[in-house]
Chain A
Amino acid sequence: MIDYSALLYDPIYDVLGVPATLTAGASEVELTVIDETRPKTETSSGVQASSVGPGVYVRMPEFAAKGIAAGEWDGALLTFNGRSWIVRKGDVLGSPNGEDLGEVRLSLMEASGG
């Protein structure tokens, strides 16, 4: 079986990952995230409103190593690349080696945007 963590995620996060701080309740942990902020469009009655949908990828093994269980990221404060965000939700993406060795995509909102 191919080890996707060693052959795929390790080199990708080495190149694209940036340091981040996640504050969930009383715990504060250091993580490596990949900024996945993308343009986002909402359409109402044919009128498009363009903005961005902020998000990051984080590896599930890193969450486990730091003692953050699935779901504990909801409402946490995430700081990276000079900005702070609130985690709205996390979607587990899985991997060929199972979801515990895959990634989670955290959807974010502005820290003042709740």
Chain B
Amino acid sequence: MVDVREDILARLLVVVATIPNMRSAYRNNVEIAENQMPAVIVLDGDEESDGASDVSMKRSHRPYNVQMTPGIVVQVQDANAALGSIITTFRRELIKRILTDTELNEQIVKTGTFGNGAIRYLGCQTDVGWTRTGYAALTAQFLFKYTLQPTQL
């Protein structure tokens, strides 16, 4: 059995958990307490395939091109004056680690000259607020393009 989607999401959690000074890492945990921050959360992503645009008569279990866009949320509670640089540092580590992780790129998604997948950084959004100190969040999106092989599921 090969489930590339699950392999990507599981590896993503491992990769983001290695970011320095991150206190906790979760997948699909949407309720974070202040003692758990800084926290990074991997949210299972929406997925689209080329099935709708495929006008060929190929058999239904032939491979599909799939694009998945999981969201990654970083939440920080710290001194208000320091939040900007803290969230920027986490963004930098996030992008660097995901786009350069060997297992994710070369074994799971299979990017590169002889692969047929791709990973792209799409962008990020930020939120700020007040709690007992300052609060900031960064949501980053990545696109994972891979081949779905129904016969291997």
Q: Which residues of B contact A54 (CB under 8 A)?
A: 132
Contact A48 B130 (CB under 8 A): no
Interface residues on chain B, number (Cβ under 8 Å): 29
- The binding surface of chain B is classed by DSSP as strand
Q: Which residues of A contact B34 (CB under 8 A)?
A: 49-52
Interface residues on A, range: 20 to 34
In A40-59, the 8 Å CB interface with B consists of 40, 42, 44-54
Contact B131 A42 (CB under 8 A): yes
Interface contact tally, CB-CB below 8 A: 80
Is B122 part of the contact surface with A, judged by Cβ < 8 Å? no
Contact B127 A42 (CB under 8 A): yes
Is A25 part of the contact surface with B, judged by Cβ < 8 Å? no
Is A82 part of the contact surface with B, judged by Cβ < 8 Å? no
Is B63 part of the contact surface with A, judged by Cβ < 8 Å? no
By Cβ-Cβ distance, the 9 closest A-B pairs, closest first, are A113-B133, A51-B131, A44-B137, A51-B34, A45-B139, A44-B127, A42-B129, A49-B75, A49-B32
Taking Cβ atoms with an 8 Å cutoff, the residues of B that contact A are: 29-34, 37, 39, 41, 43, 71, 73, 75, 77-81, 125, 127, 129-135, 137, 139
